[in-house]
Amino acid sequence: MPYFDYSATTPCDLEVSKVLLEADREYYANPNASHALGRKSRAFLDEQIQSIHTRFGLIQKEIVFTDGASESNNLAIKGVANKLPEKKHIVSSLIEHSSVVAPLTYLMRQGYDLDFVTLDENGRYDLDSLASLIREDTCLVTLVAVDSETGIRQPVEEAALIAHEKGVLFHCDATQAIGKCPIDLNAFDLVSFSVHKFYGPKGIGGLIRNQGLELIPLIHGGKSLTNVRSGTPAVSFVAAAAKAVELFTFDEVRRYDHVKAMNDKLREALGEIPSITFN
């Protein structure tokens, strides 16, 4: 049966699955352990993390590995809010994923004010609206890069510039952008992503943050890779993530052009049906 729901999730690439299985069998020791097998796991893990940094083109960034973008979004929003309790205002939009809407709703019940950027006639953020909404007590602007329902690519890089000019942190939910369209991940203070959106396994994602940007953890416990998320590092899943990133960055331009050509062809064919309206 044909599968057309790639915006929800993608099948795991066979090469990625192979890396996941092999890493799980070879590098099973806790990479935080001081014994020889632990050091072996840590060296391998560091290589995989560096590979992701390099292929993402990250500069002065750190990746907090999570179980996916939903956790990453919660960590970004609640982590900033709890770190800056004196600022009780957040700017977002009405097209966000539920994993952004839910923590924002939670914070609103805790006394936070929310404002939403308006959209123009093409469904894109009105940047003048964004600039007018930021206040002295704004702790965060959180905006999605690509609408998962309409596929509209939002001007998030420009939006981040506006937030930064006003001294406000910017979080971008890039879950539907990474691996599908060009995006400057260095333009944002915080970036959420899920590996299963680009042919990786479910259960691994990340929150890219500026080096030195402090967040209050959601999960407390023992030592991990960073100070904002506890738990034994999932070496094999990070290795699988690195392989997935390698595969999509190696062939990104060709795949983007291929998908665009198919989109154009589909629109042309469907456009001949009078009852169909395109977003």
pLDDT, one tens digit per residue, over 131-141 is 999 999 999 99
- What are the φ and ψ backbone dihedral angles of 35, each rounded to 5 degrees? -80, 175
The pLDDT value recorded for residue 148 is: 85
- 26 pLDDT higher than 70: yes
Task: Compute CA distances 275 → 122, 152, 246, 259, whole Å.
Answer: 20, 22, 42, 24
Task: Compute CA distances 94 → 47, 200, 225, whole Å.
Answer: 39, 29, 34
User: What amino acid occupies position 134?
Assistant: I
CB within 8 A of 199, min separation 6: which ones? Answer: 10, 11, 12, 13, 16, 179, 244, 247, 248
Least confident of 50-59, 119-128, 216-225: 216-225
The pLDDT value recorded for residue 279 is: 67
Q: 230-279, pLDDT tens digit by residue?
A: 999 999 999 999 999 999 887 777 888 888 898 899 899 998 998 888 76
Q: 46-63, pLDDT tens digit by residue?
A: 999 999 999 999 999 999
Rounded to whole angstroms, how far apart are CA atoms 22 and 136? 51
The pLDDT value recorded for residue 167 is: 98
Whole-number percent of the chain with pLDDT over 70: 100
Among candidates 125, 121, 120, which has minimal Cα distance to 156?
A: 125
Q: With beta carbons less than 8 A apart as the criterion, state whether 190 and 209 touch.
A: yes
The pLDDT value recorded for residue 76 is: 99
- 79 pLDDT higher than 70: yes
How is 168-184 classified by DSSP, letter by letter? -EEEEE-TTTTTTS---
Continuous segment of H or E residues that includes residue 66: strand 61-66
- What are the φ and ψ backbone dihedral angles of 40, each rounded to 5 degrees? -65, -45
Does the CA dihedral 80-86-92-98 come out positive or negative? Answer: positive
Band (116; pLDDT cuts 50, 70, 90): very high
Task: Give the start-end residues of each E strand in 107-263.
Answer: 113-116, 138-144, 169-173, 190-194, 205-210
- Would you identify the CATH topology of the domain 14-211+223-270? Aspartate Aminotransferase; domain 2 (3.40.640)
Q: 184-200, pLDDT tens digit by residue?
A: 999 999 999 999 999 99
Tokens of 20: 């996941």
Longest dimension (CA), the chain: 69
Q: 126-174, pLDDT tens digit by residue?
A: 999 999 999 999 999 999 999 988 889 999 999 999 999 999 999 999 9
Q: Average pLDDT, stretch 87-95?
A: 98
Rg (C-alpha) for the chain, rounded Å, is 20
